[in-house]
Amino acid sequence: SLLTKAGGFSINQAGYLIDAPKYFFINEPADSFYLHDVVDDKLVFKGAIELKAKNDPATGMDVYKGDFSGFETPGKYYIALANGKKSPQFEISDTVYNNLFNASLKSYYYQRCGVGLESKYAGEFKYGKCHTKDARFHPLAGEGYKDVTGGWHDAGDYGKYVVNAGVTVGTLLMAYEFFPAKFLSDSLNIPESGNRIPDILDEALFEIDWMLKMQREDGAVFTKVTKEKFEDFVMPDKDVEEGRLIYHVSSTATADFAAVLAKASRLIKDYDKDLAKKYLDAATAAWKFLSDNPGIIPTGGFKNPEGTVTGEYGDRDDSDERAWAAAELFMSTGDKEYLDYFTIYARKNNFRFKSISWSQLNDLAYFTILANSSKRNIPEDIKDKIKAELLAYSDYLTAKSDRDGYGVTILPGEYRWGCNSDVLNNALILIIGYEITGDKNFYNLALGQLNYILGANAHKISFVTGIGADYVRHPHHRPTASDGIEEPVPGFLSGGPNQNLQDPVLLKLFDKNTPPAMCYADDTGSWSSNEIAINWNAPLVFVSGYFK
């Protein structure tokens, strides 16, 4: 059966905040549930089980819900049913998401390329220096070699892609920009910890230093560094370096670069003025290239050349990337030229919010305006429009979750490659929706998305390695699969169900009649449902950091 995990209980295995909604799901009818204190096994709360959904569209299951939101005593608990079934143990406290936050941010350290991981930071997950010779130009990009060492491995593979770095670093920086007090931690045990710069910035700077090396003299930015084919399943330092290539420039990579460098320049200014200037100069040069070259580059969007089968991150529409860059450059410089560019884009698109992904960045532009709305002179009607559309989008997410048995904000048709990150990006939007409107329903719904990721889902597993009683164990992640250690490298979000069945493991297990949310396998070979990726972890850092 697909439903053997966690004793049949869909519950947030990391635990619940004291004054937040608390609930779980089961797939069988029952009258009541019983909450027990682990320490003395005492019954502390009894509640009714209610039918939530008959034949839930996403999972094909009957979903029953037990709610114990009213119970607000910190401690360690489990839930029991009259038939003797017990849930995994979980905690109620104000610190249930601290480990999750630390682990999800630390995951970026485990992806570092070129520098090796030392045991004092990485413990048993250490490895030697990798990819120290990156890389040679692909014939379409130029001739000879260029130093593009550093940065993070993208995902389960060892490629490095500027487009995906864009949304990732952008999201991490946005967390710090919106909620600086929540992201000040400087004790994550990474090499920069204790340097008085928050670790979330240090980690972002590590990637940015690599991004800088990807910039061409004329300001344009190369799209990626990968081999022609994905690497074997070996440790990073055992991967044969020969054959790593730098691919041609694209306007999406260049605009993402401009946005990230402009944003970082603003946020690092108080810590390092020279670095701030260097970043802003790089962002401005990228923008100059973009304005000299309107329209998508290369024509039709980036495509893998013949013979290359690594990640493409191909996107035929660079207007959102350009608008995001303009918004960031405006906030960092105050130059009206940038605000005008952003405004034309925003009006054309009716300020509409969309889900956030590596290819869809317009929300990041709107959020940048909101986060800085008091620092720059922005016309009132623009701020009002963004707030109104954010409210409309938060309402739309609420309506979607009402149609789902597990209260998740994606519906059948949207269980696509990496959809767990879509769920968390929705939580991110709802958090800002709550901050802007004060509507507690948005706050609760954001938490509900985290509940789903951490076990309140049909698979009854936590989708984050190392978090909870029963978590993803076999992510498609080369170090995890080849380090000889039983535990997966911790802190990584699995991509999640993929109803498009884009790998041999899913194709063997499921077919088009499988309910969309069930198309998931905790199997190393299922790259389309169980890979990890830097962009997917970013909203996890944002959301867990906010709620911790």
Q: Can 237 be counted among the known catalytic residues?
A: no
Residue 529 and residue 505: Cα distance in Å, rounded? 9
- Which of 130, 205, 326, 361 contacts Zn ion by CB under 5 A? 130
**H helices then E strands: how many in the chain?**
16, 11
Residue range at the interface with ligand 9MR (CB under 6 A); choices 149-157, 244-252, 294-302, 515-523: 149-157
Q: Please choose, from the candidates 518, 540, 537, the residue with its C-alpha nearest in 3D space to the C-alpha of residue 529.
A: 518
Should residue 154 be labelled a site residue for ligand 9MR when binding is judged by CB under 6 A? Answer: yes
| Closer residue to ligand 9MR, CB minimum distance, 177 or 321 | 321
Tokens describing residue 517: 């949310």
DSSP 115: S
Q: Which of 157, 177, 320, 321 is catalytic?
A: 157
Should residue 312 be labelled a site residue for ligand 9MR when binding is judged by CB under 6 A? Answer: yes
**What is the distance of C-alpha 381 from the center of its chain?**
31
Residues 89-118 that bind Zn ion (CB under 5 A): 113
Q: Which of 177, 231, 404, 522 is catalytic?
A: 522
For the CB of residue 159, give the shortest distance to ligand 9MR in the complex, in Å.
Answer: 6
Q: What are the phi and psi torsion angles at 427 (to 5°)?
A: -60, -40
Residue 524 and residue 507: Cα distance in Å, rounded? 14
Residue 417 and residue 456: Cα distance in Å, rounded? 20
Chosen from ligand 9MR, Zn ion, none, partner binding at 173 (C-beta under 5 to 8 Å by type): none
For the CB of residue 48, give the shortest distance to ligand 9MR in the complex, in Å.
Answer: 41
For the CB of residue 425, give the shortest distance to ligand 9MR in the complex, in Å.
Answer: 12
* HSE-CB of 524 using CA atoms within 13 angstroms: 11
For the CB of residue 421, give the shortest distance to ligand 9MR in the complex, in Å.
Answer: 8
Helix-strand-coil split of the chain, %, nearest 5: 40, 10, 45
| Torsion sign across C-alpha atoms 414, 419, 422, 427 | positive
For the CB of residue 345, give the shortest distance to ligand 9MR in the complex, in Å.
Answer: 23
Residues 252-311 that bind ligand 9MR (CB under 6 A): 311
| Closer residue to Zn ion, CB minimum distance, 116 or 412 | 116
Q: Please choose, from the candidates 529, 512, 516, 528, the residue with its C-alpha nearest in 3D space to the C-alpha of residue 406.
A: 516
For the CB of residue 9, give the shortest distance to ligand 9MR in the complex, in Å.
Answer: 30
Residue whose CB is nearest to Zn ion in the complex, by number = 113
Tokens describing residue 229: 């084919």
Residue range at the interface with ligand 9MR (CB under 6 A); choices 155-163, 325-333, 362-370, 441-449: 155-163
- Which of 533, 538, 541, 543 contacts ligand 9MR by CB under 6 A? 533
Q: Can 186 be counted among the known catalytic residues?
A: no
Chosen from ligand 9MR, Zn ion, none, partner binding at 533 (C-beta under 5 to 8 Å by type): ligand 9MR
Residue whose CB is nearest to ligand 9MR in the complex, by number = 311
Should residue 202 be labelled a site residue for ligand 9MR when binding is judged by CB under 6 A? Answer: no
Tokens describing residue 274: 């020279």
| Closer residue to ligand 9MR, CB minimum distance, 105 or 155 | 155
Place of tokens 């250490």: 126
Q: Which of 248, 476, 477, 523 is catalytic?
A: 476
Residue 531 and residue 480: Cα distance in Å, rounded? 11
| Closer residue to Zn ion, CB minimum distance, 129 or 387 | 129
Contact indicator for 436, 387 with CB cutoff of 8 Å = yes
Site string for ligand 9MR, 409-448 (x = CB under 6 A): --------xx------------------------------
Total residues binding ligand 9MR (CB under 6 A): 10
For the CB of residue 153, give the shortest distance to Zn ion in the complex, in Å.
Answer: 6
Residue 33 and residue 46: Cα distance in Å, rounded? 6
Chosen from ligand 9MR, Zn ion, none, partner binding at 130 (C-beta under 5 to 8 Å by type): Zn ion
Q: Can 459 be counted among the known catalytic residues?
A: no
Contact indicator for 130, 449 with CB cutoff of 8 Å = no
Residues 230-269 that bind Zn ion (CB under 5 A): 236
Should residue 506 be labelled a site residue for ligand 9MR when binding is judged by CB under 6 A? Answer: no
| Closer residue to ligand 9MR, CB minimum distance, 224 or 548 | 224
For the CB of residue 137, give the shortest distance to ligand 9MR in the complex, in Å.
Answer: 20
Q: Which of 321, 328, 389, 531 is catalytic?
A: 531
Chosen from Zn ion, ligand 9MR, none, partner binding at 448 (C-beta under 5 to 8 Å by type): none
Should residue 114 be labelled a site residue for ligand 9MR when binding is judged by CB under 6 A? Answer: no
| Closer residue to ligand 9MR, CB minimum distance, 251 or 537 | 537
Residue 181, helix vs strand vs coil: helix
Chosen from ligand 9MR, Zn ion, none, partner binding at 113 (C-beta under 5 to 8 Å by type): Zn ion
Residue 131 and residue 258: Cα distance in Å, rounded? 26
DSSP 47: E
Chosen from Zn ion, ligand 9MR, none, partner binding at 516 (C-beta under 5 to 8 Å by type): none
5, 490, 531 from 459: Cα distances, Å = 7, 19, 16
Sheet holding 23-26, edge to edge: 10-11, 23-26, 63-67, 43-53, 32-37, 75-81, 90-92
- Which of 106, 131, 136, 138 contacts Zn ion by CB under 5 A? 131
| Torsion sign across C-alpha atoms 172, 175, 181, 183 | negative
Contact indicator for 265, 276 with CB cutoff of 8 Å = yes
Tokens describing residue 422: 């879509």
Q: Can 56 be counted among the known catalytic residues?
A: no
Q: Are strands 224-226 and 245-246 parallel, antiparallel or unpaired?
A: antiparallel
Report the DSSP beta bridge partners of residue 25. 10, 65
Active site residues: 157, 476, 522, 531
Residues that bind ligand 9MR in the complex, under the rule CB under 6 A: 154-155, 157, 159, 311-312, 417-418, 531, 533
Residues that bind Zn ion in the complex, under the rule CB under 5 A: 113, 130-131, 236
